[in-house]
């Protein structure tokens, strides 16, 4: 019996997006499946691929999505293109509970599209639901891009002053021969 000739199956084509359609920007709580993209995104900024570090950050900030700790990602057409991490901290530095933003990154190819502003705005909305009314951050004085960004979002110099010291050059208090602190 001669086999039926197999016909090539018609190729299913996805409908092309309408010309000029805007990519869809969303902000949501991070998921475990986002972490490879987060590690890659961080590496574009820092030049370091810190997978173990990011797993620790995910464990600490990633599982809640509500409450004091927040780790949010922005997606453009379902692809992770940015993230922000923050936490409400109680009574640190003698201050009433306030929201801290620890890290924010947007993929270089997705910058200046409003992604960073959306991430920060969602973080602020979640902090306000926690009842705090102040947002704080700490940035490098050499990072003028972050300074411009935070200023544009309404952040101004606060009253806390960062202090630091080189521990290698630290001279310990005098100790006696047994290593006990001198009285
Ligand atoms: C800072 C950063 C988060 C901004 O993200 P973004 O998505 O490009 O920001 P937005 O598009 O929402 O811009 C918001 C505002 O920020 C300011 N801004 C953004 N990019 C800027 C730039 N290149 N130069 C000057 N101002 C800029 C503008 O005022 C802008 O408002 P406008 O568009 O009305 O002018 C992004 O550039 C980034 O990830 N940079 C690296 C961050 C970093 O160093 N992280 C490591 C330490 S946490």
- Smallest CA-to-CA distance from 107 within 73, 137, 140 is with 73
CA dihedral 67, 71, 75, 79 (to 10 degrees): -140
Side-chain-side CA neighbours of 54 within 13 Å: the count stands at 21
Identify the sign of the CA torsion 77, 81, 82, 83.
Answer: positive
Q: How many whole angstroms separate alpha carbon 126 and alpha carbon 5?
A: 61
In this predicted model, what pLDDT tens digit does every residue of 28-49 receive, in sequence order?
999 999 999 999 999 998 999 9
- The CATH topology of domain 25-154 is Aminopeptidase (3.40.630)
Q: Atom 41, ligand 1: which residue's CA is nearest?
A: 105
Residue 3 pLDDT exceeds 60: no
Starting at the edge strand that comes first in sequence, how are the strands of the sheet with 79-89 ordered? 25-29, 69-76, 79-89, 98-106, 135-137
Average pLDDT over residues 10-29: 72
Give the global pTM. Answer: 0.85
- Rounded to the nearest 5°, which phi and psi values hold at 118? -65, -40
Where are the chain's structural domains? 25-154
CB of 105 closer than 6 A to ligand 1?
yes
Q: Which atom of ligand 1 is nearest to the CA of 82?
A: 39
């Amino acid at each position: 019996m001669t086999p039926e000739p197999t016909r090539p199956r018609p190729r299913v084509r996805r409908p092309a997006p309408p010309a000029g359609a805007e990519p869809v920007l969303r902000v949501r709580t991070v998921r475990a499946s986002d972490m490879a993209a987060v590690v890659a995104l961080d590496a574009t900024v820092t030049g370091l691929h810190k997978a173990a570090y990011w797993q620790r950050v995910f464990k600490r900030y990633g599982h809640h999505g509500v409450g004091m700790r927040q780790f949010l990602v922005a997606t453009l057409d379902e692809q992770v293109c940015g993230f922000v991490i923050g936490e409400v901290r109680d009574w640190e530095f003698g201050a009433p509970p306030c929201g801290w933003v620890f890290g924010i990154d947007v993929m270089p190819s997705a910058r200046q599209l409003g992604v960073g502003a959306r991430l920060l705005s969602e973080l602020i909305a979640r902090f306000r639901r926690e009842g705090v009314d102040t947002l704080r951050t700490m940035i490098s004085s050499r990072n003028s891009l972050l300074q411009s960004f935070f200023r544009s979002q309404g952040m101004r110099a606060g009253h806390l002053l960062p202090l630091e010291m080189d521990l290698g050059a630290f001279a310990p208090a005098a100790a006696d021969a047994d290593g006990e602190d001198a009285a």
